Chains A and B, each alone.
Chain A
Amino acid sequence: DGGITQSPKYLFRKEGQNVTLSCEQNLNHDAMYWYRQDPGQGLRLIYYSQIVNDFQKGDIAEGYSVSREKKESFPLTVTSAQKNPTAFYLCASSMSPWERVSEQYFGPGTRLTVT
């Protein structure tokens, strides 16, 4: 089955540690996205990538980093510089928006708790 996988579902880290969230898709989508969701605030875009080896900052990129070495993979690192990292993180993918603006498909999310 085609889809997006994110692992793990729940992640716990101590303050000051970097942590990497994985996102893999087998939909052959060019574009991938990372969102952060906090209660009552909807989804906010952290980073997005439209092709391999290229990515752009979203609205709240500070304290986060990404890489896009393969079409299928778009890992997100939450660094110790991120002041409030505890949140629900969602990865998404879509066809290239240069071809057609299409719906984004989402993974199941990773709930990160930093104490």
Chain B
Amino acid sequence: AQKVTQAQTEISVVEKEDVTLDCVYETRDTTYYLFWYKQPPSGELVFLIRRNSFDEQNEISGRYSWNFQKSTSSFNFTITASQVVDSAVYFCALSEARGNQFYFGTGTSLTVIP
């Protein structure tokens, strides 16, 4: 079964628009960890954020913000005032309590049009 679902395959926005990338996860563990990564055209995945299941506080880092809602099993990522440099593929990932394995979503390809 798919543990992490990123239903949006591709999104295009015009520069300075806000955009939200959705991530829905599935786990039976009470302790788990969620992550977001950015993959620019160069290919290397860049770590953005880590969140554990006991911390539901939303987080903001500059133009980036994350909304974690256990009630809906979602961990959505919003980019405010998007820029061309935000164009990339974004992956959401889940790691369960034992931490042996990350489960990645299929990614959302974001294109920011100047």
- The reply to whether A42 and B99 contact each other, CB–CB distance below 8 Å, is no
A interface residues (Cβ-Cβ under 8 A, vs B): 33, 40-45, 48, 50, 56, 58, 88, 90, 92, 97-98, 100-109, 111
Total cross-chain contacts (CB, 8 A): 56
Closest beta carbon of chain A to B43's beta carbon, Å: 4
Q: How far apart sit A102 and B98, CA to CA, in the bound complex (Å)?
A: 11
Residue pair B101, A48 in contact (C-beta under 8 Å): yes
A45 x B50 contact (CB < 8 A):
no
Give which listed residue, A41, A92, A98, contacts B106 with CB less than 8 A: A41
A56 touches B43 (CB 8 A): no
Interface size of B in residues (CB-CB distance below 8 Å): 24
Q: How far is the CB of B77 from chain A (nearest CB, A)?
A: 15
A40: chain B residues within 8 A (beta carbon): 9, 106
Minimum CB–CB distance from A38 to chain B (whole Å) comes to 10
Q: Which residues of A contact B100 (CB under 8 A)?
A: 48, 50, 56, 97
B35 touches A (CB below 8 Å): yes
Asked whether, in the complex, the Cβ of B91 is within 8 Å of the Cβ of A102, the reply is no
Chain B contacts for A109, CB-based, 8 A: 43-44
